[in-house]
Amino acid sequence: MHDAPGTQCHRLSNRVMTRGDTQEARVAELEAELARVRAGAEAQSRQLERYAADLRETFKAERVQRARLQDSYMATVRALSNAVEARDAYTGKHAERVAAYGLAIARTMGSRLAEDPTIEFGFLLHDVGKVAVPDAILYKPAALTDEERALMSRHPVIGAQILRGIEFLGEAKAVVRHHHERWDGAGYPDGLVADEIPLAARVFAVADTLDALTTDRPYRDACSLIYAREVINAASGSQFDPVVVHAFLSIPNDVLDRIRLETGTTS
């Protein structure tokens, strides 16, 4: 039994229409699904943007907080350094000048030291151990006896002990302990040689001598910058690290003069 051709066409047309309807419904479903996914993605993207904005705000607030904390550290260190220097009328702003010279040398060397704030703390606090040295020795106009010299030379160790428990000082403590070491190992307190001496302390040694030579002392007038350069150059490889001396010698006079002017020494 066969259907009439008209009936077959009708069924076929019904089937095609049904398939067409199903496909349209499927397309509509997919479009709705796509719209849902898109809306979800947009909501997620907005959420992420809010998170990013929150993070940026938190980061900014933390940076401000860190800067404030760093300022407080610096103010505390300066107060301590000033307290030490207040005892000695001759050195004036010695610690500040040495810190500025030291940073200028570190910058010239391209060293990371210049970026490390704890190094400046060390430069400023290098002689904090002198609080334990009696006035009679500290201000003695004549040469020190062996016993007095031994007492005086304990100040780096005493200084490091004083600062031992202060976490934020970091590398500063190494500067305080080793600021009288010499490149050839003849320094104190540990007789470290060459690279054994922390770099910050090697930089400090040059800066300290520069300031000692170019400021008035009870027993002599200040030397010229040119003379100070000669003296430091002559001690390169014995007292001082040659790399540090080389960096120091390449700093123009006007940079050093500006530091002296800003820290109260024009002699």
What DSSP string describes 189-202? SS---GGGS-HHHH
Question: Of the two residues 157 and 243, which places its CB atom closer to Fe ion in the complex?
Answer: 157
Chain contacts with Fe ion (rule: CB under 5 A)? 127
Question: Of the two residues 108 and 211, which places its CB atom closer to Fe ion in the complex?
Answer: 211
Q: What is the DSSP letter of 52?
A: H
Question: In the complex, what is the shortest distance from the CB of residue 241 to Fe ion, in angstroms, rounded to a whole number?
Answer: 18
Spatial neighbors of 222 by CB under 8 A, at least 6 apart, are 213, 214, 215, 216, 265, 267
222 closest CA partner among 101, 91, 98: 91
- What residues are paired with 217 via a beta bridge? 220
Question: Of the two residues 120 and 127, which places its CB atom closer to Fe ion in the complex?
Answer: 127
DSSP-based three-state secondary structure for 237: coil
For residue 120, count CB atoms less than 10 angstroms from its CB and return exposed for 0-12, middle for 13-18, buried for 19 or more. Answer: buried
Question: In the complex, what is the shortest distance from the CB of residue 186 to Fe ion, in angstroms, rounded to a whole number?
Answer: 16
Give the HSE-up count for residue 230: Cα atoms under 13 Å, Cβ half-sphere: 5
Nearest-CB residue to Fe ion?
A: 127
What DSSP string describes 75-119? HHHHHHHHHHHTT-TTTTTHHHHHHHHHHHHHHHHT-GGGG-HHH
Catalytic residue flag (residue 130):
yes
Q: Which of 60, 93, 130, 140 is catalytic?
A: 130
Question: In the complex, what is the shortest distance from the CB of residue 148 to Fe ion, in angstroms, rounded to a whole number?
Answer: 15
Question: Of the two residues 127 and 211, which places its CB atom closer to Fe ion in the complex?
Answer: 127
Question: In the complex, what is the shortest distance from the CB of residue 180 to Fe ion, in angstroms, rounded to a whole number?
Answer: 6
Question: In the complex, what is the shortest distance from the CB of residue 55 to Fe ion, in angstroms, rounded to a whole number?
Answer: 46
Question: Of the two residues 108 and 205, which places its CB atom closer to Fe ion in the complex?
Answer: 205
Question: In the complex, what is the shortest distance from the CB of residue 96 to Fe ion, in angstroms, rounded to a whole number?
Answer: 15
Is there a contact between 89 and 248 (Cβ–Cβ < 8 Å)?
no
184 closest CA partner among 215, 205, 163: 205
Active site (catalytic) residues: 130
